[in-house]
């Protein structure tokens, strides 16, 4: 069958009886199994549960029951998020085998209640940090646009699976950019919503005060569909905030007329390491939005370099606290890159952590003041297109000193979304991406700007040749 590219199209096909959920889920599982030995996106398939959910969706459609736009849609989740029908490994030999046994994470509960068919657990960087270690018995994630290049991390499996059409959407997590990086490198859309909007109950932590669980899909519209389901207060997660969840789909007007866009030129657009073609693609996207009625002004954001360092210190401290018991007893079970990452927190003092948190409070106020006159900021998502994996493995500490366009928004907790802006001119073209940042709990504005741009362009519909060649 001809597989739909988006959740939106698949939902329409299910409702006009072009195919059943069982047919759609079976076909996507077949495609996933054919591509997975090459791409390394899935750790485990949950075929039985997915086909049961698909059959239930078909029965519901037949009887006139329509739970949500996700009813009957094949999705998958990062293997740091608990599912009752499969082990959770965090891509590691370290995590206790019984961790999360028999429970669904809050977000998985909500996806199942909405009628989604969850087809499996997706690869990640071990414990959502470090680099993948080929010496460990887990699939190595491969970028579907060019296999030797990085699929980014840590939600690499979700980025690969969505880009290659193995699923129509999925869940990633983001502590310093781990949803937006894979979205950028794999040419898809992914939103890190406001901290506290989505429950993290049932998810292995990396940085307690920085972690987010996020939607990743081909389009902003599809991300809105997933976020609509998973958002909301959960008393089991004390970091969730009890605020109303807006109607994200109703907010997608297709118009940016009057939207005020801020461009933080300093640090983002004047970075020496920013690839000229990536910069040009983002500037062209801004001009597209401007031509559609948005206003664009330069908005300086202070202390961005310091904010990147503060995010690094806080993540290291919180990760080190979580892993401290296991590092002492299971040191050799960690991947060689991960163990460096999770022990780094021991190099910072308690006063370093406190000072980083003090700076964080100040920085959040400074960003709020800078953003007061505008609706969203726009920046590149990454400084370059996907880098060669060998280069990253040869210098695993490069992220400590490299400029980050994503982690500062974890520090503030603001919503930030990555969407494609085109393909590079390389012999093997690679996706390029921009980031849209909004005010607290204003995901609807971020999603509307992203969706409006995607109605005017088709970059998000690009499919890697390796995926397009698979017939099911």
Cis peptide before 264 (omega within 30 of 0): no
Active site residues: 78, 154, 178
Whole-number Å distance between alpha carbons of 394 and 131? 10
- Inter-residue contact 55 to 44 (CB < 8 Å): no
Structure tokens at 471: 């017939």
Whole-number Å distance between alpha carbons of 348 and 345? 6
Residue 393: is it exposed, middle or buried by C-beta count within 10 angstroms (0-12/13-18/19+)? Answer: middle
Long-range CB pairs of 1-6, under 8 A, 24+ apart, other chains included = 1/27, 1/472, 3/27, 3/28, 3/31, 3/165, 3/472, 4/168, 5/165, 5/218, 5/461, 5/463, 6/168, 6/217, 6/218, 6/219, 6/221, 6/222
DSSP assignment letter at 83: B
| C-alpha to C-alpha distances, 273 to 215, 346, 384, nearest whole angstrom | 29, 30, 8
Kindly calculate the radius of gyration of the chain based on its CA atoms and give it in whole angstroms: 21
Phi, psi of 256 (to 5 degrees): -120, 15
- Inter-residue contact 167 to 428 (CB < 8 Å): no
């Amino acid at each position: 069958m001809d597989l739909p590219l988006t959740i939106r199209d698949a939902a329409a096909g299910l409702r006009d009886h072009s195919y059943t959920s069982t047919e759609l889920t079976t076909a996507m599982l077949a495609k996933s199994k054919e591509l997975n030995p090459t791409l390394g996106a899935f750790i485990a398939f949950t075929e039985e549960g997915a086909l049961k959910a698909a059959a239930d969706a078909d029965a519901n459609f037949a009887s006139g029951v329509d739970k949500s736009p996700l009813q009957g849609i094949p999705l998958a989740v990062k293997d740091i998020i608990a599912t009752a029908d499969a082990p959770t490994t965090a891509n590691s030999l370290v995590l206790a085998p019984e961790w999360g046994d028999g429970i669904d994470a809050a977000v998985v509960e909500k996806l199942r209640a909405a009628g989604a068919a969850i087809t499996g657990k997706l690869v990640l960087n071990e414990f959502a940090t470090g680099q993948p270690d080929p010496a460990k018995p887990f699939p190595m994630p491969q970028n579907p646009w060019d296999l030797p290049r990085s699929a980014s991390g840590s939600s690499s499996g979700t980025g690969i699976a969505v880009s290659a059409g193995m699923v129509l959407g999925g869940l990633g997590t983001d502590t310093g950019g781990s949803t937006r990086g894979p979205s950028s490198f794999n040419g898809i859309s992914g939103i890190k919503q406001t901290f506290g909007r989505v429950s993290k109950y049932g998810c292995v932590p990396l940085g307690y005060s920085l972690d987010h669980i996020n939607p990743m899909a081909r389009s902003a519209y599809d991300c809105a569909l997933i976020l609509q389901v998973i958002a909301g207060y959960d008393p089991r997660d004390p970091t969730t905030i009890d605020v109303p969840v807006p109607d994200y789909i109703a907010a997608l007007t297709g118009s940016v007329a009057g939207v005020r866009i801020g461009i933080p030129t300093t640090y983002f657009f004047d970075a020496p390491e920013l690839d000229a073609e990536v910069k040009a693609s983002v500037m062209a996207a801004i001009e597209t939005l401007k031509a559609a009625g948005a206003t664009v002004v330069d908005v300086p954001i202070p202390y961005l370099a310091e904010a990147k360092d503060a995010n690094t210190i806080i993540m290291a401290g919180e990760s080190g606290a979580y892993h401290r018991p296991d590092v002492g007893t299971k040191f050799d079970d960690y991947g060689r890159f991960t163990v460096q990452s999770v022990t780094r927190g021991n190099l910072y003092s308690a006063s370093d952590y406190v000072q980083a948190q003090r700076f964080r409070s100040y920085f959040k106020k400074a960003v709020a003041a800078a953003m007061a006159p505008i609706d969203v900021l726009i920046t590149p998502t990454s400084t370059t297109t996907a880098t060669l994996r060998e280069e990253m493995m040869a210098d695993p500490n490069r992220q400590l000193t490299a400029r980050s366009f994503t982690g500062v928004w974890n520090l503030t907790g603001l919503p930030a979304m990555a969407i494609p802006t085109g393909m590079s001119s390389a012999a093997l073209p690679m996706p390029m991406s921009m980031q849209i940042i909004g005010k607290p709990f204003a995901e609807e504005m971020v999603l509307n700007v992203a969706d409006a741009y995607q109605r005017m362009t088709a970059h998000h519909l690009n499919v890697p040749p390796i995926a397009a060649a698979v017939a099911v």
